[in-house]
A and B are shown apart, each in its own frame.
Chain A
Amino acid sequence: MKVQISVHPRFHLKPLVVILLALMGIAFITAMVRYANGIGTISDLSNSYPWGFWISFDLFTGVAISSGAFLMAAVVYIFELKEFRPLVRPSVLTGFLGYMLVVIALLVDLGHPERIWYMMIHWNHTSVLLEIGICVMSYLAVLVIEFAPVVFEGLKLQKFAHFIHRFIMPFVILGVVLSTLHQSSLGSLLLIQSAKLHPLWWTPILPILFFVSAITIGLSMIIFESTLSARYFHRGLEIHLLEKLAKAIPIVLVTYLVIKFSQLTIAGDLKYLFTSGLMSVLFWAEILIGAVTPIVLFSTKRVRQSANGLLFGAVILLLGMILNRFNVSWFAVQHPDPLSYMPAFMSNVHYFPSLPEALVSIGIFSAGILAFGLAVKYLPVFEHEKEGHGATS
């Protein structure tokens, strides 16, 4: 079988690469400053805000938007909906890169990055973070395995690709299990903040809400990246596939809304819907942008059948759901009351991400884009149609 490089990416566009590299460089230098002088020297994090933008963006958002990988793997392998095969490789690649970036970001955010492996040896079984850590690391390994055939193909090592593919099923199942666990556990991570997280968000079923919303995010991400890469890599757009995905989204979102509002009703927290000032506004923003609008959009045939419509719908959903992740992990978390504290250096109760903080995330994100571009350029990511197999196909 001969490999035909049908992709002629416009990606070699020098300026973009240069900009991405520059952003990465800046992030690298910033990270070095952080390693030398401490997290406080480059971020606005404080004892009142131990977690900030990095966690909300790199961890919570990063993991959520990588959920396409397990969804597509499940759809194609477990449900054997083979027609979706073309979407698998890019999703797995996005997932792999997404998780890599999460880990890199954590290496900046952790006080002792050199000890990250302690999670493997010192187990505190009550810690949600431990579960997430282990799941993320294991899932990363699964993704490596899932993506390996693509790499082997790129290297013309078909034999290896075949070999891996033969044993792919257990890994797919493991990947789905791990993903289900940590996608939902990101929600569980906040369970311990029952006294700090606003009741509009805190609920024991946070993990379920996280999982359900992660599905919508994953689906939207596939739509998002497919439409975009079609545009930038001049590929054909599998619009009929995306339409099917888009059709599924309202169903999941309605489920999500039903769960969310039933929970608020049962918990007796409906009273906060309109009475919590900024919190109410944030809540409605995420519901309207992340759920209601996408339901309307994706229920509309015209939207589903146009590339622009799909992209628009996906972007709206992503914005709303990312807002949800920010709300839960940051905006709606109320740290100890800003009463009068003494000594004064105790009282930094306001947090706004500093520029270097954002630069680190931007740099890491740039690395992701660059890596995606390079992978697409040098590996048969969009090669499934011609290829008879491969990790992911």
Chain B
Amino acid sequence: MKKIAHNSFLFDATRCIDCRACMVACSVENQIPMNKTRIWVAGVGLKGEYPSLVRASMVYHCMHCNEPDCLSACPVGAYSKRLDGPVVYDPKKCIGCRYCMNACPFGVPHFDWDKGLIEGAFIDKCSLCTQRIDIGLEPACVATCPTEALMFGERADLLKYAHDRLAAQPARYINHVYGETENGGTSYLILSHVPFKELGLPELPSRPVKEVSEEVMGLTIPFALGWGAVLTGLAAGVHLYNQKKNANAQKLETSEAPTEETK
């Protein structure tokens, strides 16, 4: 069993026939309830006008970001990023705030809207089939893909393969590997014949969306301490100033009325 340092997918939209075998496989492998899914079809579907038509859809699931925003956002640290790629979720910590869903620029985490307190409402998302990759199997979705639209392996290898394809068949593809840099790079790499937007993928800079938020968060403690000090100083200053002023006033006018601040 070859150890993969950075487990990744490569999805080639030009090869995907939208058969959804990957989805059924995921649902079975991970025992996903019938009204939930970790993996779905996105994209405009059909574009153009009869008879000049193009199909544009992709298989969507967690991107396993190199810099996961879900992880950054979760207050209780229910997410973790494994060194070999997978971003995994731990239901035991989750408080169900759904901030991760807001944070994820890909709309990946899903919530158990239909579960009450007793059953327990949790987040679900693609786990990169850690139970499989840990024993040397490909993720369920990849393993069954009849057209090899989904491939799996070492991120660097897949990137190279993707770029080789772009170079070999330039007319076939948009000249970009989505996920190479987007949001700081993802473990789900995508090749496409249509603009990535039409596959339902957001346009993202290479700077992960979480960065500004994390920088601001980094300022919190210093700011709190500084602001506390300023306020204390201010309060003390004002108080001293007022005392002096009052004393002066008292000197001037021989105590007319008791001030309030005598206690």
Contact = CB atoms under 8 A, between A and B. Distances in A.
Asked if chains A and B are in direct contact (CB within 8 A), the reply is yes
B214 interface: yes
A286 B177 CA distance: 40
Most buried by A among B20, B77, B242: B77
Nearest to A181: B224
B136 interface: no
Interface stretch (A47-55, A260-268, A313-321): A47-55
A273 interface: no
Most buried by A among B35, B71, B73, B122: B73
Given A50-B98, A188-B217, A336 B107 contact: yes
Contacts of A177: 224, 227-228, 231
A74 B72 CA distance: 33
Contact of A124 (B75, B111, B114, B224): B75
B231 A129 contact: no
Contact of B113 (A39, A79, A126, A339): A39
Contacts of A127: 72-77, 99, 217
Interface in B214-261: 214-217, 220, 223-224, 227-228, 231-232, 234-235, 238-239, 242, 260-261
B209 A111 contact: no
A372 interface: no
A240 interface: no
Interface stretch (A5-13, A168-176, A302-310, A361-369): A168-176
Contacts of A191: 212-213, 216
Given A37-B116, A174-B228, A345-B35, A78 B235 contact: yes
Contacts of B113: 38-41, 45-47
Contacts of A176: 227, 231
Contact of A126 (B115, B217, B232, B242): B217
A284 interface: no
B213 A346 contact: no
A126 B260 contact: no
Given A122-B93, A126-B210, A192-B103, A336 B202 contact: yes
Contacts of B99: 127, 129, 189
Contacts, number: 214
Contacts of A339: 42-45, 198, 200
A180 B76 contact: no
Contacts of A40: 113-114
A173 B220 contact: no
Given A111-B98, A118-B95, A126-B214, A195 B76 contact: no
Most buried by A among B77, B95, B99, B261: B95
Nearest to A121: B76
B195 interface: no
Interface in A47-82: 47-48, 50-51, 74, 77-80, 82
Contacts of B111: 39, 47, 50, 111
B263 A388 contact: yes
Contacts of B76: 115, 118-119, 122-124, 127, 130
B101 A50 contact: yes
A110 interface: yes
Interface string A332-354: 01011101111101100000000
A38 B102 contact: no
B69 A336 contact: no
B105 interface: yes
A113 to B, nearest CB: 8
Contact of A125 (B114, B120, B217): B217
Given A35-B116, A130-B76, A78 B238 contact: yes
Given A47-B107, A341-B40, 5 more contacts: A35-B116, A115-B95, A124-B75, A177-B231, A337-B197
Nearest 10 Cβ contacts at the A-B interface: A111-B96, A40-B113, A130-B75, A50-B101, A336-B107, A342-B41, A124-B77, A191-B213, A50-B98, A122-B76
